[in-house]
Amino acid sequence: MLLSINENGNHPIYLQIISQIKEQVGKGILQPGDELPSVREVADSLGINMHTVRNAYLKLRDQGIINLRLGRRARIVWRQPPVHTTDSEAELKVRLKELITDAFLMGLSLDDFHDLVNQQLAQLKMMK
């Protein structure tokens, strides 16, 4: 279980933890049933506050990624529920639209952006 936080940049720490764990689940590095390190362990190893880690774990539970039980370590849930509500899909579209807009305003061409997408997709496929 490898986690790191970027001191520079504006992303809140708890969001960085969330996206890293989600990424590892997406890539298959973390499999259903796998144990996550304890809140305290993560906090110590990253030199951050325990509340911050706990917050991240709570959010992951709310998103149906992990399972939290009192006194036991967090575990990746067995059945990844394909939530896929119309709400979450709409939000995804908004984020994608903003991403594309920003890419264009940065001077990237359509092809540049497509390349970027394929590059990231390839990276994920390889891991699987």
Partner DNA sequence: GTGGTCTAGACCACG
Partner DNA sequence: GTGGTCTAGACCACT
Indicate whether 127 belongs to the interface with DNA (CB under 7 A): no
Burial class from Cβ neighbours inside 10 Å (0-12, 13-18, 19+) for residue 3 reads middle
* 128, 27 Cβ separation under 8 angstroms: yes
Burial class from Cβ neighbours inside 10 Å (0-12, 13-18, 19+) for residue 66 reads buried
Q: How far is the CB of 60 from a second copy (least distance, A)?
A: 10
Between 2 and 10, name the residue whose CB sits nearer to a second copy: 10
> What six digits make up the tokens of 32?
């259903």
Which of 23, 41, 98, 102 is the binder for DNA (CB under 7 A)?
41
Which backbone phi and psi does 84 adopt, to 5 degrees?
50, 45
Indicate whether 1 belongs to the interface with DNA (CB under 7 A): no
Q: How far is the CB of 66 from DNA (least distance, A)?
A: 9
Q: Using CB distances below 5 to 8 A depending on partner kind, what does residue 115 bind out of DNA, a second copy, none?
A: none
List interacting residues with DNA (CB under 7 A): 10, 12-15, 36, 38-41, 48-52, 54-55, 57-58, 68-74
